[in-house]
Amino acid sequence: MGRRADRDSGGTGAGKTGTARTGTARTGTTGDGVARGDTVTGGAAQDGPAAGGSAAGGPVTGGPAAGDVPAAGAPAPPTAPIPLGRGLPGWSSRLAVALVGGGLTGVLAVEGTEPPFLLVHLALVCLAAVLPASAAPVLVIAATAAALALSDAPAFRPAVLVAVALAHLLHVVTALAALLPLDSRVHPSALRVPAIRFASVQLCVLGAAGLISLVPQGRVAAPLELLGLAAATALAAGSALLLRSRG
């Protein structure tokens, strides 16, 4: 009787604590889609291989697959550079300042301006080419306007129209030269917008000159002169306020 009780108790212990209950059949990885005997070393079940599991005996490691989007804040991969060509050297803008300023000096020479004034004008042109961000370009334009205004020739003549166009062009090229270092390069396509703006302004100037040519050359009545002066002042003030609001 004692031996039978011992056998019964031994069988009961083996049935409850043996490998049939706690073995791989319960705690293995077959429920996660991996074949029996495989090991999972990283990630959850959804980070592993696709449905159906891996081949028997191969480990499954977690981590992003190839081609995944980088996490937020990660540096973007480098892009291939866009070829723009060699472009124009930066010193070419200074050369343009000298050429346009020299054109204004040539206009004054054709108009019969005195040689000492021409030498001063040429010196200002050279200074504007060397220091385009200084007041030298403004002095060149002011000296040209003063010399043409003090001349005895008629106010409306071809030399005045040429000088107006060259003075505007000098303003444009000195603004570009003041921004471009000497060792820089500029692509010609970058000059398209300033060129379009220059052409549109000059078309308006030629239209206004055509209207002025229709006005009689005699003395204008004093009230009309005052009205024109007030209109010019209002236009200048309005332009300054508009530029200030945009700035």
CA distances (Å), 33 to each of 25, 38, 57, in order? 14, 10, 13
* pTM for the structure as a whole: 0.55
Residue 176 has pLDDT above 70, yes or no: yes
Contact present, 161 and 169 (Cβ < 8 Å): no
Q: How far apart are CA 102 and CA 126, in angstroms?
A: 9
Please give the Cα distance from 116 to 126 (Å, whole number).
Answer: 16
Which of the two residues, 13 and 144, has the higher pLDDT score? 144
Rg (CA), the chain: 43
pLDDT of residue 238: 83
Percent of the chain at pLDDT > 70 equals 63
What distance in Å separates the CA atoms of residue 61 and residue 201, rounded to the nearest whole number?
69
Dump pLDDT digits (tens) for 26-62. 444 444 444 444 444 444 444 444 444 444 444 555 5
Report which of residues 137 and 81 the model is more confident about: 137
> Has residue 195 got a pLDDT over 70?
yes
Confidence of residue 168 (pLDDT cuts 50, 70, 90): very high
Q: Which amino acid is at 131?
A: L
Average pLDDT, the chain: 74
Q: Is the pLDDT of residue 118 over 90?
A: yes
Average pLDDT over residues 217-244: 79
| pLDDT for the residue 83 | 61
pLDDT (tens digit per residue) in 56-98: 444 555 555 555 555 666 666 667 666 666 778 888 999 999 9
pLDDT at 130 over 80: yes
Q: Please state the rounded mean pLDDT for residues 161-166.
A: 92
The pLDDT, as a whole number, for residue 124 is 95
**CA–CA distance, 140 with 168 (Å, rounded to integer):** 11
Helices 91-110, 136-149: inter-axial angle, 10-degree rounding: 20
Q: Would you state the pLDDT for residue 9? A: 46
Give the model's pLDDT for residue 236. Answer: 80
Q: Please say if the pLDDT value at position 220 is more than 90.
A: no
Among 12-21, 84-93, 117-126, the least confident range: 12-21
pLDDT higher than threshold 50 for residue 173: yes
